[in-house]
Amino acid sequence: MKGAGTERMAGKSEWAARFEALAKEARHPALQKFYRAGVIAAQTPIEQVQLLAMDVETTGLDAQAHSIVSIGLIPFTLQRIRCGQALYWVVKPQSELNEKSVTFHHITHTDIRNAPALTEVVEALLDAMAGRVMVVHYRNIERGFLDRAFHRHLGEGLQFPVIDTMQLEARMHRQKRSWLDRLLRRPQLSIRLADSRARYNLPPYHAHHALTDALATAELLQAQIASHYLPSTPIAALWD
């Protein structure tokens, strides 16, 4: 499991080129600035990459129908997770908060009454993301919702490179099934955030607070790399 699967790197190395093109296409100045900051080279070892753990909490799972209620960001590297530079916003969602999602993330109507709209935090958000590689657990949520929200508010979408810790976990565990799974004829090993963390002896956290989940994801990536990859693994083998 150590080292990079080179076959996976094919076709993933063009993020730098894609950002150059996007910088030209983008109309909103904040987006132009973000794309112009560029992306590190695909061959950069993961130990040298500036990373940003990201989690968004939403009113539901469908990026078309639901919207973002909070965003948590924590910059980190393989060596250190920097809580001192963490960022967290509650934002006013487009769609209604429903009871079910409230019980998940505990953000209530009172919390969002005075919250800014997403448009107000876009610049700070893009500043934090600029030049970094995003790290999320289950990329479809963060990518899908941010892209959708940017379309809605700015009239153009958002693209960025992502390391998905859930995807890394799937590479590790979805091929080989454990004895207990076979014994119970269970379909698959859970690669949810909490279950994945437990496999690396990381402590349980209260889930569904965007900042806590971002911290949890950053720690998980450190553990995954320490367990399964060399620090010199090129970023291209990990991102998507």
Residues lying near another protein in the complex (CB under 8 A): 76, 79-84, 86-89, 179-180, 182-184, 200-203, 205-206, 209, 211-212, 215, 218-219, 222-223, 226-227
**22 vs 57 by CB, closer to another protein:** 57
| 78, 45 Cβ separation under 8 angstroms | no
**10 vs 183 by CB, closer to another protein:** 183
- Adjacency order of strands within the sheet including 133-136: 87-90, 68-76, 51-58, 133-136, 162-164
| 54, 88 Cβ separation under 8 angstroms | no
**78 vs 154 by CB, closer to another protein:** 78
Minimum distance, C-beta of residue 158 to another protein, in the bound complex (Å): 22
Which of 76, 101, 112 is closest to 219 using CA atoms?
76
Torsion-angle region of residue 106: left (phi > 0), alpha (psi -120 to 50) or beta?
Answer: left
Place of tokens 């894609």: 18
Q: 144: which 2 tokens?
A: 């899908």
Minimum distance, C-beta of residue 12 to another protein, in the bound complex (Å): 25
Minimum distance, C-beta of residue 62 to another protein, in the bound complex (Å): 29
Say how far apart CA 102 and CA 105 lie, in whole Å.
6
Say how far apart CA 68 and CA 91 lie, in whole Å.
7
**63 vs 166 by CB, closer to another protein:** 166
Q: 4: which 2 tokens?
A: 């990079």
**27 vs 185 by CB, closer to another protein:** 185
Q: Residue 182 contacts by C-beta under 8 Å, 6 or more apart in sequence?
A: none
Query: Which amino acid belongs to residue 95?
Result: S
Minimum distance, C-beta of residue 203 to another protein, in the bound complex (Å): 4
Minimum distance, C-beta of residue 179 to another protein, in the bound complex (Å): 4
**148 vs 222 by CB, closer to another protein:** 222
Minimum distance, C-beta of residue 69 to another protein, in the bound complex (Å): 16
